[in-house]
Structure 1
């Protein structure tokens, strides 16, 4: 276990929730005693269950809090629709702490601040109804003990998908590992992804009648990235992606038996988790880490400020700040940077936007799919400061599945088949199976740079059955996020489209699927999932382009060494995941990000462990 050389104890409270007074919701019960029962005995609380309506990050929900005469005994947020592993985790974690410590004086979870504050507001309102608010707000904040210095064979900077893959791989190679994560959540952008992982997989594909080859995967990746990817890195990715699937299965990840097609995947080889979203991967990784806590230590709310180097320039650890104030040092023989991209750093992305989207202002009017605190690009500056070269920074990817106003990928998704893209008038304008950059270029050319994705009962045979992302039509409708029509004419009226143009769009699409016509936009049928869209009910959801992935970053080789401008390795420094450059060219195929994170994450961990002598 990484050694804690010296420790300090401090009281949590840099951003106290008290002053602001699931798995998609959950309910917690407990029997914790009040922290100061002698003070509460004189004025007993009004026992009972009280409710408060709050506005979460994703949607409004109700909080039910049960009180005895002296303690919070249950907090129920089961109506929440906060994101798995992010807002839902914050609600669960903070609710448990509120009951354990009987206080409202808790820090917000970095990366899930809005969810944290909605919980604090709701519990406070319930406490006021029970006559408990004063006691809970005056109760002491919990104390937390951290070390001033940690030592390990490997330090991984970033606890997202790539970072956790690297940490586990290093652990499996015999290394001790410290993972330093700046957010209060684990999983980064992988948590909020759909989880698509591209790999040529004969076992699954042959059962579906899909003919595919690794060389086809390689060619699609190179051509999809406009032949700007490093061929050596791309070959390694496409050759070893299936091994990543099997490695993840060995850790308990269950994939669906059939593969599909992520948006812009240019092939039918996208593996999806059996339970919704990329959070499935993170849960399996966390389970492994908890079972191997003797070799892996997770440190949250830790912002790395510097890579430490010795007199020769070799990296020997990191300096960090816990919650912005408490200095922490991690001494390590190898350091892996896995901090993700910079898509949420508006200033930086505009600065480097000289490539494919130079004609578009990527200011804050363009949203981002990533968790804002996570995708700031600090790892790039850390690596550059240690001598690493940054490449391909102008290669920024937009995704067509953004929610107007936020840029988040929510509600009806663009991934998969059996959906039609139409503009505000109801006319198709693009090949729905095209690369993401081509889709977004076509959207920007439409009135108000927006469009509708239209689906019917083929995609959603039941309004109450969760889709691949855990969402239901029933919930989308109740939140007002989508529009429903029993007929094409009804849908057109609800959305303001021209009914004749919308019907013509559906008819033209169906003719291509039936093999009766060639599509004017180049859409090709033949995917095993393709079905004609003929019966209602029909559903439509408005979408906009959003910043999704940054393909540029730290230059690496196939062993994940961070390289300087001359191509020489920066001693003891490795990198993997979205913080690296050179793999995807100027356009990443849908489903290649998770394949990248897991494939090169495994390599980075194993190489870092070997470098440390593990």
Structure 2
């Protein structure tokens, strides 16, 4: 299987992550999503008439989501499907659970199983089709006929006029829309997927922050300190100072937008998680670390809801394809495409907040070539659309780009731990790099570890080495051993000697043995003098059989993108601002991180530069 095929397969896992259990809570939705869904319903054509009615009644059916079963009661009334009520489901908060609701709405509206899957949540969508197919069969219907029913949509082009249009509904886009709205601008948001949030929706939602002007210098110091290596990509201190300076204002904006969050003692903004996210967390398994409940989805949805309450429309399933410019190359809007027609949005200013480019192999090969070998868990919508549109009107690409470290996983298509601050393996293990050395403590957080596992010309990975006692704690080890074969992505081995294990890993046996011997000496002494791992996790690897599992870095995307100035304006090859065009977030992030991504800063770039871009776009529009 070639790399492009691997990257395609990974989309499904990256964007339809679910837990293993089930819940009886109602499907979570947001006011913004409801508003968009109603708008889409209005645009839809008349329902295809049934050629054969179903037997009235309530039918229970189940189907497997990404990792857990989804159960629903399908109510048939007057020969048609009238309700689809989910009684058990644990789909990902803000993504899979929204897909369940949208799929149910579409099936009921069109009385057809031929409706499209929800973009970004294909596994959840397929599960709904399967369980409704079962219910149709129970009700005496012809499943094949239901699947082949034509779904007609009214295609109607439209023109929308506004002051500021924001492209992308992730944290950067939502912050920009919030600030522009509060500056008095008439704002419109367009989002490529059926849900907002981008990669943020799978994240902890946290970023380092300061709630007072007096705390900003400490925030800047903390920001710089986290970027430990800056040899290839020096930090842009002007940008970092400018971004951090608005941190207190951004926190106030979150408060005004009714976002539930706290600033903890470490100076990190932590959003409260939704009930659905809490249930997702209950089904995540980590061998040693404590599972962190993720608040990214709640942060995003609360910002969306507040925009909806203030009359700001978000057009989902709407892809921006081309910037509109006048004779002087001033950006005056954007053209968008959807299944219901073309939207021409005339605006006085455009903010691009389209995320990264990790799902675009051509851009990745150009801007961050080593990242091309990695497996990514970034949002499927992150294909560099904003970069390409901006370049067409004179923007320039940043000279440096790199992948953003994520977490280790043996199976890069099974990503239950995306967004967790610690890895899933037992901390008692030995973690080796691609030379057979132990560069860092196994118990460190994921971002602090990953800078030691960056490999040129191949995927970023490490090897977990264990004896039987430790291996008994490694999740799914038997499954990985069984699935290992020549050429397989999954690589797990069991041997009677360290030498044989080293050969399986294609590492020098003498180097691996020396690393194991040194580690065992420290375990016997009860102190990790090399990397400072807590003594409670020191367990000698000295009695066979021995095990090794390859762990891949599931990256969160690629940073870099296009150049902007301190006002968030997109600049041309001469450093001049392109009038009317702004960008915020990972699409324009090269100067905010060093050689590698340090964690807890990406959402800060989005929130801070989204705020700045939204403010300046609104002021420009008001001139």
For 1:201 and 1:212, the matched residues in 2 are separated by 12
How far apart in 2 are the matches of 1:507 and 1:201?
Answer: 47
The alignment status of 1:118 with 2:127, answered yes or no, reads yes
Name the count of aligned residue pairs.
Answer: 518
Preserved contact between residue 397 and residue 586 of structure 1 (Cα < 8 Å): no
Alignment of 1:589-604 (within 5 A): 589-604=598-613
Q: Please state whether the residue corresponding to 1:122 is helix, strand or coil.
A: helix
Range with bigger deviation, 388-397 or 497-506: 497-506
Matched, 1:439 2:450: yes
Q: 2-side partners of 1:174 and 1:151: how far apart?
A: 15
Measure how far apart 1:158 and its partner are: 1.3
Q: Is the 8 A contact 2:76 2:83 kept in 1?
A: no
In the other structure, the counterpart of 2:298 is: 280
Structure 1 residue 597 displacement after superposition: 0.5
Give 1:220's aligned residue.
225
Q: Tell whether the 8 Å contact from 1:430 to 1:442 is kept in structure 2 after alignment.
A: no
Would the aligned equivalents of 2:409 and 2:554 in 1 still touch at CA under 8 Å? yes
TM-score normalised to structure 2 length:
0.71
Given candidates 302, 309, 326, the residue that maps to 1:310 is 326
Q: Does residue 567 in structure 1 map to residue 541 in structure 2?
A: no
1:333 aligns with 2:344: no
Task: Map residues 404-423 of structure 1 onto 2, 5 A cutoff.
Answer: 404-406=411-413, 408=415, 410=417, 413-415=420-422, 419=427, 422-423=430-431
Shift of 1:44: 4.5
Aligned to 2:355, the other structure's residue is in SS state coil
8 Å contact kept, 1:224–1:588: no
Contact 2:407–2:555 (CA under 8 A) maintained in structure 1: no
For the Cα contact (< 8 Å) 1:189–1:371, is it kept in 2?
yes
Unaligned residue ranges in structure 2 (runs of 5+): 1-17, 29-45, 274-293, 467-472, 482-491, 499-512, 540-547
Q: Once structures 1 and 2 are overlaid, which stretch shifts more, 386-395 or 94-103?
A: 94-103
C-alpha distance in structure 1 between counterparts of 2:496 and 2:57, whole Å: 54
Relative to structure 1, is the Cα distance of residues 565 and 408 closer, same or farther in structure 2, using a 3 angstrom cutoff? farther
Contact 1:403-1:409 within 8 A present in 2 as well: no
Q: Which residue of 2 aligns with 1:557?
A: 565
SS in 2 for 1:156: strand
Does the 8 Å CA contact 1:401/1:546 hold for their aligned counterparts? yes
User: Higher mean Cα deviation, 71-80 or 542-551?
Assistant: 71-80
Q: Is the 8 A contact 1:352 1:394 kept in 2?
A: yes
Note the C-alpha offset of 1:167. 1.1
What SS class does the counterpart of residue 572 from structure 1 fall into? strand
Q: What corresponds to 2:368 in structure 1?
A: 353
Could you tell me how far 1:334 is from its partner in structure 2? 0.2
Q: For the Cα contact (< 8 Å) 1:27–1:75, is it kept in 2?
A: no
Deviations 1:262-306 (A, max 9, x none): xxxxxx44332221331111110121122122xx22122222221
- Which secondary structure does the structure 2 equivalent of 1:166 belong to? helix
1:188–1:479 Cα change, 3 Å: farther
Equivalence for 1:606 = 615
Q: Is the 8 A contact 2:56 2:139 kept in 1?
A: yes
Give the superposition deviation at 1:330: 0.8
Correspondences of 1:537-548 after superposition (within 5 Å)? 543-548=551-556
Deviation at 1:171, TM superposition (A): 0.9
Q: Which residue of 2 aligns with 1:585?
A: 594
> 1:400·1:440 contact (CA, 8 Å) conserved in 2?
no
CA distance in 2, matches of 1:443, 1:222: 15
Number of the residue aligned with 2:194: 184
Deviations 1:142-170 (A, max 9, x none): 64575521111011111211111111111
User: Any idea what SS the aligned residue of 1:125 has?
Assistant: helix
CA contact (8 A) 1:402 1:543 kept: yes
* Change over 3 Å in CA distance of 1:133–1:503 after alignment to 2: farther
Q: Aligned with 2:364: secondary structure?
A: helix
| In structure 1, C-alpha distance between the alignment counterparts of 2:350 and 2:460, rounded to whole Å | 46
Shift in Å at residue 222 of structure 1?
Answer: 5.2
Shift of 1:612: 0.5
The residue that corresponds to 1:234 in the other structure is 240
8 Å CA contact 1:170–1:608 kept in 2: the answer is: yes
* Superposition CA RMSD, Å: 4.5
Cα distance change, pair 107–229 in 1 and its aligned pair in 2 (3 A) = same
CA 1:444–1:144 in 2, change beyond 3 Å: closer, same or farther?
same
Residue number among 100, 116, 125 corresponding to 1:91 in the alignment: 100
Once the two structures are TM-superposed, the CA of residue 453 in structure 1 deviates from its matched residue by: 11
**Residue range with higher mean Cα deviation, 135-144 or 241-250:** 135-144
In structure 1, what is the Cα distance between the partners aligned to 2:353 and 2:217?
31
CA-to-aligned-CA distance 1:6-50 (integer Å, 9 cap, x gap)? xxxxxxxxxxxxxxxx99866579xxxx9688965xx54162323
Distance 1:556 1:182 in 2: 23
In 2, the alpha carbon distance for the partners of 1:100 and 1:436 equals 46
SS of equivalent residue, structure 2 residue 295: coil
Aligned equivalents of 1:422 and 1:389: distance in 2?
44
Distance 1:38 1:406, change over 3 A: closer
Question: Is the contact made by 1:369 and 1:407 (CA closer than 8 Å) also made in structure 2?
Answer: no
- Corresponding residue for residue 390 of structure 2: 383
The whole-number CA distance in structure 2 between the counterparts of 1:212 and 1:497 is: 55
Aligned to 1:8: none
Q: Which residue of 1 aligns with 2:257?
A: 251
| CA–CA distance in structure 1, aligned partners of residues 93 and 244 of structure 2 | 29
**For the Cα contact (< 8 Å) 2:422–2:446, is it kept in 1?**
no
Q: How does 1:454-473 map to 2 (within 5 A)?
A: none
The structure with the greater share of residues assigned to helix is 2
Distance 2:245 2:423 in 1: 24
- Hey, what's the Cα distance between the residues in 1 that align with 2:613 and 2:150? 43
Tell me: CA distance 1:600–1:449, structure 2 relative to 1, closer, same or farther (3 Å): closer
Q: Secondary structure at the match of 2:313?
A: strand
Distance apart, 1:182 and its partner CA: 1.5
TM-score by length of 1: 0.72
Distance 1:28 1:232, change over 3 A: closer
Q: Is the 8 A contact 1:367 1:402 kept in 2?
A: no
